[in-house]
Amino acid sequence: MNLSLNKIKILDKSFNYIISPEISEFRKFSPKLKIGVLASGNGTNFQELINLSEKGELDVDIKVLITNKDDAGCIKRARSVKIPHKIIRGRDFLQKELFELEIVNTLIHYDVELVVMAGWMKIVTPFFINKFKNKIINIHPSLLPAYKGGSAINDSILNGSKITGCSVHFVEEEVDSGSLIMQAALSIRDDDDIESLSKRIHMLEHKILPHSISHAGYLIRSNFMENC
């Protein structure tokens, strides 16, 4: 495979990164790919999907945003472009399966073809995964299988890693372990802290998540996954 070094400029500094597989054109979907986004936080990845969809570059119809946090920044982003959103809080349910059932029913209600976890900070159970088998993808801020879990960026700094990045993978039963779709790598600088490194990782996430959606959508639409 041919890998090349790319560059992003942030303010007065630029950084090199590498993406594999290399980015090509987005797939065309007609009708548009119906996606549901699960997010627990600020939602910058979600915003990038909104932007690319509005520009007509990524053929997705974002049917619904589901969040588990009342004050998540992603809610404002959904409201501002009138994407339906639903807050489903884990604490409102006696069992995790009932919490997930509510999520599943919402995704089915919106006729979602692909579920995109874009900063979803809850571990999902086999119940949920089996309802959308091979149709859930997740973005994670490390080069999996390194630094699984909820503090990946901090762990990479604390561990003295020199290279990290981000990964998009299909969601399978073991946490942060499903088959990889796309990864991007960058250097950790000596003076990096969690804020500076998160910022550069986010810029790469905004590149690989849309392309991973495009690829996963292609597999789903061509029934490739069902026949595996």
Instruction: Give catalytic residues, as residue numbers.
Output: 140
Nearer to ligand GAR, 119 or 217 (CB): 119
Under the binding rule (CB under 6 A), the answer on residue 139 touching ligand GAR is yes
Nearest 5°: phi and psi at 8? -120, 140
Q: Of 43, 135, 131, 123, give the one whose Cα is nearest residue 90.
A: 123
**Looking at beta carbons, which residue is closest to ligand GAR?**
119
Cα separation, 14 vs 24, whole angstroms: 22
Selected from 63, 83, 141, 156, the binder of ligand GAR by CB under 6 A is 141
Cα separation, 18 vs 165, in Å, equals: 9
Told to check if 181 binds ligand GAR by CB under 6 A, we report: no
Cα separation, 14 vs 49, in Å, equals: 24
Number of residues that bind ligand GAR (CB under 6 A): 17
Say how far apart CA 170 and CA 27 lie, in whole Å.
18
Q: What's the token pair of residue 110?
A: 């919106």
Is residue 53 a contact point for ligand GAR (CB under 6 A)?
Answer: no
DSSP letter assigned to residue 34: E
Binding mask 65-104 for ligand GAR (x = CB under 6 A): ----------------------------------------
**Would you count residue 118 as binding ligand GAR (CB under 6 A)?**
yes
Distance of CA 152 to the CA centre of its chain: 15
Closer residue to ligand GAR in complex, CB, 112/137: 137
Does the footprint of ligand GAR cover residue 21 (CB under 6 A)? no
- Picking from 116, 114, 136, 129, the residue whose alpha carbon sits closest to that of residue 217 is 114
For position 41 contacting ligand GAR by CB under 6 A, the verdict is: yes
Query: For ligand GAR, which is the closer residue by CB, 10 or 108?
Result: 10
Instruction: Name the residues that contact ligand GAR, by CB under 6 A.
Output: 39, 41-46, 118-119, 139-141, 150, 152, 166, 202, 205
